Structure 1
Amino acid sequence: DVPQLNSAQDVLALLERRLASFTPELKKAAAAMLEEQTAIGVSSARQMAKLAFVKPNTMVRLAKELGFKGYDDLRGLFQEDIRRGQLGGGFEDRARWLQSLSRKGELGQLYADLANVSIKNIETTLAATNQVEMQAAARTLHQAKKRYMLGVGINHALAESFCYLADMASMPIEPIPRFGSLAIDDLAHAATDDVLIAITFKPYRREVVTAVEQARRQNLKIIGISDSPASPIVLGADHGFVVDTETPQFYTSIVATMALLETLMAFVIAEAEDDVITEIEAFHERRHRLGIYMGEKNS
């Protein structure tokens, strides 16, 4: 009986178990698959056959031997695992997969996948938290004497955006690291009444994890945002939020993180004193007065 194969790892495990029983040609094809696992999802039967030094039909025969209708069905499992980040050495494998979609004229499917996964990421992220946790984090920010926010790489823009919105509401948050500085140096004078918001995703950035560890030693409150409850910046945080970052792209998706931060900012405003509305109005009035905005006042 052919076992149920639901993932690339299932296929690889079956290949290992059956390798010794294959004919010499099938054995070469199977060995190539085991050695070049990330190539399967982005390679045609002809390309894989070239790696294995066998004929393309041998790759098809191997797929059928494993219970698939053909090589493309087998490859589909590997493509799905690459898309989910569950197979491969990293972002470069997803980049190769994206290029393979273009060569095969399947960009319409990519468009649909991106839309679906973005919506799913937001839904699962917000479903994983609740208004009580959001309100608690917002209150911690309000009660802090000084606030810091750390996001590097792809998360730097998220941190800057959140700090910009907070400043508009007269709740200043200092984005770190400052230009030419290190995050741990920027936290040197932080104290117990202060709070650090930190963001990092796999593979976790060392400077973010190190800064969070330093902040803990200085008894700062920590708001950690990451992609796993086991993340070193979420584990043990005063407020930890786990976001879904799944994407067919070659980089981590930040769509759900942006939604989470926008939600947190909404709670920050909701928990603020009444004069925050006056502060926001004054901010925009000044910009209109200085001619920063074009067109009508509400444009």
Structure 2
Amino acid sequence: MTTQDQMPKLLGDLIARNSTKLTEADTRLLDVLIRDPIRAAMENGKDVSSRAGVHPASAVRLARRLGFKGYPEFRGFLQSNLMEGGGDFENPAARMAARLVRAEEGSLLASVLDSEIAALQQVRNAVSDAEIRVFSEALRDCRRVLIFGRGHSAALSSLISLRLNRSGYEAIDLGNQMHQLPELLATLRQDDIVWLLAFRRVSPLVQEIRKVAAEKQAKVLALTDLRSARIDPAPQHKISVSRGGAGESQSLVVPMTIANAIILDLAAIDDGRSLRSLGAFKAFRGESGLSPVLL
């Protein structure tokens, strides 16, 4: 039997290696697996055979022809491929299914918590206080902060903007001002900051905003995960950190924690500006007749 170390990493490669051994029943099974590899990684051999319209033992025979001891071992191969982010499963649904696979034998909540805790623990060694200080000093000394993120990072962009404004800094969440994006970028100055957020991949719009910032000579900060593609031109300052391994929850808590640390450090170095602004905001909220829901 082929050892696991010699096994191809992807299902497509495994099929190609054993194509001369495959029967008509095998082909029908593989068609079912390839059309829905996420479901295939979750089902047993009997269920897969039923969907393919072949004998219940056909899935076991296929697994053995592909070099596995039985279908459970083949299913383990599919699950590993799912969790390691192989090309067969590179889509959002696959990533969610991978997390379900990891939690299959235990509590789903416990699995998510373990993933988040592990991701947060590695931040301690991955990001230094000096890197946090570089960001906070840039924010302290700027005229205005323009923050931009797409997808999941849009939620963090909104939170950063809210916290900076309450701390007395003019901050604009560009994602909430898309209808005025050209006008806002046209007014960029050398003493402005553009803070970019990019997780998993860098959207074309992030690249375009970076290009405009370079033309306007505005300083650019970037908070990204390790899988994010390169931003070009490179930001003046960048923090990149893992949000979790393959098959694990891709934590939003990690970048949010880093952003919170930056804003907290900003309050420590801006001669009371943040604290005074927060105090004034609290007083205004208490004295105004505006609905607390709106504040």
Q: TM-score range by the shorter chain?
A: 0.7 to 0.9
Residue pair 1:91, 1:251 contacting (<8 A) in 2 also: no
Deviation at 1:112, TM superposition (A): 2.3
The residue type equivalent to 2:42 in the other structure is V
SS at match of 1:191: coil
Q: For residue 60 of structure 1, what is the aligned residue in structure 2?
A: 60
Q: Tell me if structure 2 keeps the 8 A contact 1:2–1:67.
A: yes
Shift of the 85–196 alpha-carbon distance from structure 1 to 2, 3 Å rule, reads same
Alignment partner, residue 4 of structure 2: 4
- For 1:122 and 1:225, locate their aligned partners in 2 and report how far apart those are by CA, in whole Å: 15
Cα 1:175–1:252 shift into 2, 3 Å: same
Distance apart, 1:254 and its partner CA = 1.4
Change (3 A) 1:179 1:185: same
Q: Name 2:121's counterpart in structure 1.
A: 123
> Which whole-Å deviations, capped at 9, do the CAs of 1:157-210 have from their partners, x for residues lacking one?
211211221122212211114445153442111022211001122343332222
Partner of 2:93: 92
Deviation string 1:212-231 (CA, Å, 9 cap, x unpaired) is 22212222111112223762
Cα pair distance change 1:33/1:153, threshold 3 Å: closer
Tell me the residue number matched to 2:174.
Answer: 176
1:40-65 alpha-carbon deviations (Å, 9 max, x no partner): 21333234324544323121233344
Residue 39 (structure 2) pairs with residue 74 (structure 1): no
Q: Determine if contact 1:197/1:224 at 8 Å carries over to the other structure.
A: yes
SS of equivalent to 1:153 = coil
Distance 2:176 2:104 in 1: 43
> Alignment RMSD, CA only?
3.6
* Partner Cα separation in structure 1 for residue 127 and residue 214 of structure 2: 23
In the TM superposition, what are the counterparts of 1:3-152 in structure 2 within 5 Å?
3-5=3-5, 9=9, 12-22=12-22, 25-26=25-26, 29-30=29-30, 33=33, 37-50=37-50, 52-66=52-66, 68-83=68-83, 85-86=85-86, 87-95=88-96, 106=104, 108-152=106-150
Sort the Cα spacing of 1:36 and 1:289 in 2 relative to 1 into closer, same or farther, 3 A. Answer: closer
SS for the counterpart of 1:135 is helix
Q: Name the aligned partner's letter for residue 239 of structure 2.
A: F
What's the CA shift for 1:139? 0.9
Tell me, in whole angstroms, the C-alpha distance in 1 between the residues paired with 2:152 and 2:3. Answer: 41
275-284 or 31-40, larger mean C-alpha shift: 31-40
Cα deviation code 1:61-116 (max 9, x no counterpart)? 33344454532333234334434544424113345667x77xxx948442222111
The one-letter code sitting in structure 1 at the alignment partner of 2:262 is L
C-alpha displacement at 1:282, in angstroms? 2.7
Q: SS of the counterpart of 1:282?
A: helix
In the alignment, the residues of structure 2 paired with residue 286 and residue 24 of structure 1 have an alpha-carbon distance, to the nearest angstrom, of: 75
Task: Label 1:163 to 1:35 Cα distance change in 2 as closer, same or farther (>3 A).
Answer: closer
* Residues in 1 aligned to 2:30 and 2:176: alpha-carbon distance in whole angstroms: 52
Equivalent pair of 2:221/2:236 in contact (CA under 8 Å): yes
Q: Deviations over 1:246-269 (max 9, x none)?
A: 489999541211111111112212
Q: Which residue of 2 aligns with 1:193?
A: 191
SS of 2:18's partner is helix
TM-score, structure 1 normalization: 0.79
Give the Cα–Cα distance (whole angstroms) in 2 for the partners of residues 113 and 228 of structure 1: 22
- One-letter amino acid of the structure 2 residue matched with residue 45 of structure 1: G
Distance 2:35 2:128 in 1: 45
Assess if the C-alpha contact under 8 Å between 1:247 and 1:253 holds in 2: no
- Is the partner of 1:181 in helix, strand or coil? helix
What's the CA shift for 1:149?
Answer: 0.6
**% identical equivalent positions:** 19
Q: Is the 8 A contact 2:267 2:273 kept in 1?
A: no
Tell me which moved more, 42-51 or 153-162.
42-51
Structure 2 residues not aligned, in runs of 5+: none
